[in-house]
Structure 1
Amino acid sequence: MSDKAAKKASAWTAVIPWLFVLLWSSGFIGSKLGVPYAEPFTFLTLRYCIVLMILVPIALITHAPWPKGNGQMAHVAFAGLMIHALYLSGCVWSLKLGLPAGILSLIVSLQPLFTAAFAGVVLGEKVVPRQWGGLALGFLGTILVVAHKTGSGLTFLMTVPAIAALVGITVGTMWQKRHCPAFDLRTSTVVQYAASLLITAVLAVSTETMQVQWSGQFVFALLWVALVLSIGAISLLNHLIKSGTAVNVASLFYTVPAVTALMAWGIFGETLTGLSLIGMAFAALGVWLARGR
């Protein structure tokens, strides 16, 4: 590889994590735009259908290799169920029960700490003191970012799906890192979304009316989360899981509430306090420490 190509590849490697954060954060904005027009699980079901309508033909036309054997297929599907079905369903179910978005952000933001706690045992990764400090600082930053959004009236029942979402994203990323070290993004993503679609469709049919109020805003939101998040952001996440350590990948999620808050401020005019700005700085510094030099 020439020096020019090597520099270009290095620059792209440095950009990918932050591009992922930007795209992943935009998913919360897209969901907020779309959910008023459709119930949560119906919205997720439509989202996964669009993704599969795009990815299945691509996988077949390009003759992409499928996961080898039932064992590998099961590992890929299970990781997808954790990351897509359990995580997203847990988030929307908690919101449906009335859990304040700030509390939801705090609960799922425990993921980097949980990942670090189990990375040594599950993946054999060593978490150094610098990374522990960064993880703690990142969590403190998240608290400051969402402190003014926590609200009141919290019950334990509201938090159960959120805790399930935390378990889902934590287990899913570590499972994929350990059991699916190499797979084709085109076909494996199809497997993951097909498995997730079965779950969300059952939940939609059994718990919702499945009525949709079609509008320009809803179509835009649906296409945004399907194309930009479910294809773009997830492809970057799979790349990061494959090429980096679990702790490095998980630490990026600390910046998501901050970036989402900035987007919500610019798009919806939501309040952005001085404490939130300080929290954003803490979260960014924490991620820098946790990801290493």
Structure 2
Amino acid sequence: MSIDRLAPALFVFLWSTGWIAAKFADQYADPLTFLALRYGTAAILFAAVALAAGVAFPKGGIDRVHALVSGMLLHGFYLGCVWWAIGQGVPAAISGIIAGLQPLMTAVAAHLMIDERLTAGQRAGLGLGFCGIAIAVLPNVLAGGAGSIPAFPAAVNVIGMVFVSVATVYQKKYLKTGDLRAVAALQYVGAFAVTLPAAWLLEPMHVSFGLGFFAVLAWSVVGISMGAVAVLLYLIRRGQVSRAASLIYLVPPLAALEALIAFGEPLTPAMIAGMVVTALGVWLVNRKGRAEPKETAPA
């Protein structure tokens, strides 16, 4: 099986484990503090890997700035907003619905920023994917009483989706070349530069060091920050931006399956139905014959 065929499934699995890791990490550290430690560790490891492999870091100052800014958006602001919102009381179900907005936002951002065009089938697939997420989580929201959801943290959660959507297109537009290991090292430096001050301002920066903490940190860094993000950057560089973003639709359903195994959380018929609808939507966006970005005439 070629890497192009394996990469989407690998990304979905690795990225989905972030929901499980976040639930475990909450037992050992404040969310932004944990993210700062995760980003700092990932930056050091990516830099070490890049140096050991002898790859060149971006030489131009503007290329380094683009890498730092994309890291601030893709990791710092995005996960910072989402983790803070959940810590402030936004239910996981609502966060799942909001996460389902990201591919739609990315499609809009791609159209505005790089004139990426979608076929009618792809647009239908994006809408169908969001409907699948809604089917999967909305019954739980209604059963729990949506009126108790804190408005401001929910808005911050939405802002997080805007950041990751813009970051995906920004990555496609400005970081088309360069070794992914070197680029990722700079991105995590940018993410660390955003998250550490936020943790210092908003949290007591509590950490309970121990085997459990280091186990979650190790997986968060190696499995997610390095593994999943490296695959995502590969997908963005190799394919269409909206196509890569549509894979996010598969993450909440898979995370639900993992939560069933890890924590015994129930998997309802609505969630199963939502998974089927979501998978169909992702297939529509990723099937052959997709539209390609419009080429810009040279100046």
What does the per-residue CA deviation read over 1:191-246, in whole Å, with 9 as the maximum and x for residues that have no partner? Answer: 11011111111112222222211232222111111110000000000000000101
C-alpha separation in 2, matches of 1:155 and 1:210 = 23
C-alpha separation in 1, matches of 2:37 and 2:8 = 28
Deviates more, 1:61-70 or 1:93-102: 61-70
Query: Could you tell me which residue of structure 2 aligns to residue 169 of structure 1?
Result: 164
Query: Could you tell me which residue of structure 2 aligns to residue 116 of structure 1?
Result: 107
Q: TM-score, normalised by structure 2?
A: 0.91
Q: Which of the residues 280, 283, 288 maps onto 1:288?
A: 283
Q: What 5-or-longer segments of structure 2 have no aligned partner? A: 289-299
Q: TM-score, normalised by structure 1?
A: 0.93
Deviates more, 1:235-244 or 1:206-215: 206-215
Query: Could you tell me which residue of structure 1 aligns to residue 54 of structure 2?
Result: 63
C-alpha separation in 1, matches of 2:68 and 2:206 = 29
Query: Could you tell me which residue of structure 1 aligns to residue 263 of structure 2?
Result: 268
RMSD: 1.3
What does the per-residue CA deviation read over 1:62-105, in whole Å, with 9 as the maximum and x for residues that have no partner? Answer: 22111131111111111111110011001011112111111111
C-alpha separation in 2, matches of 1:56 and 1:181 = 19
C-alpha separation in 2, matches of 1:192 and 1:22 = 22
Q: Number of aligned pairs?
A: 284
Query: Could you tell me which residue of structure 1 aligns to residue 195 of structure 2?
Result: 200
The list of structure 1 runs, each at least 4 consecutive aligned residues, that deviate by more than 4 angstroms after superposition, is none
Q: Percent identical across equivalent pairs? A: 35
The answer to whether the 8 Å contact 1:138/1:283 transfers is yes
Query: Could you tell me which residue of structure 2 aligns to residue 4 of structure 1?
Result: none
The offset of 1:181, in angstroms, is 1.0
Q: How does 1:134-173 map to 2 (within 5 A)?
A: 134-150=125-141, 151=144, 152=146, 153-173=148-168
The offset of 1:108, in angstroms, is 2.1
Query: Could you tell me which residue of structure 2 aligns to residue 104 of structure 1?
Result: 95
Query: Could you tell me which residue of structure 2 aligns to residue 3 of structure 1?
Result: none
Query: Could you tell me which residue of structure 2 aligns to residue 225 of structure 1?
Result: 220
Q: Which of the residues 86, 96, 104 maps onto 1:95?
A: 86
What does the per-residue CA deviation read over 1:34-84, in whole Å, with 9 as the maximum and x for residues that have no partner? Answer: 112100111111111221232222222322111131111111111111110
Q: What 5-or-longer segments of structure 1 have no aligned partner? A: 1-7
C-alpha separation in 1, matches of 2:113 and 2:44 = 35
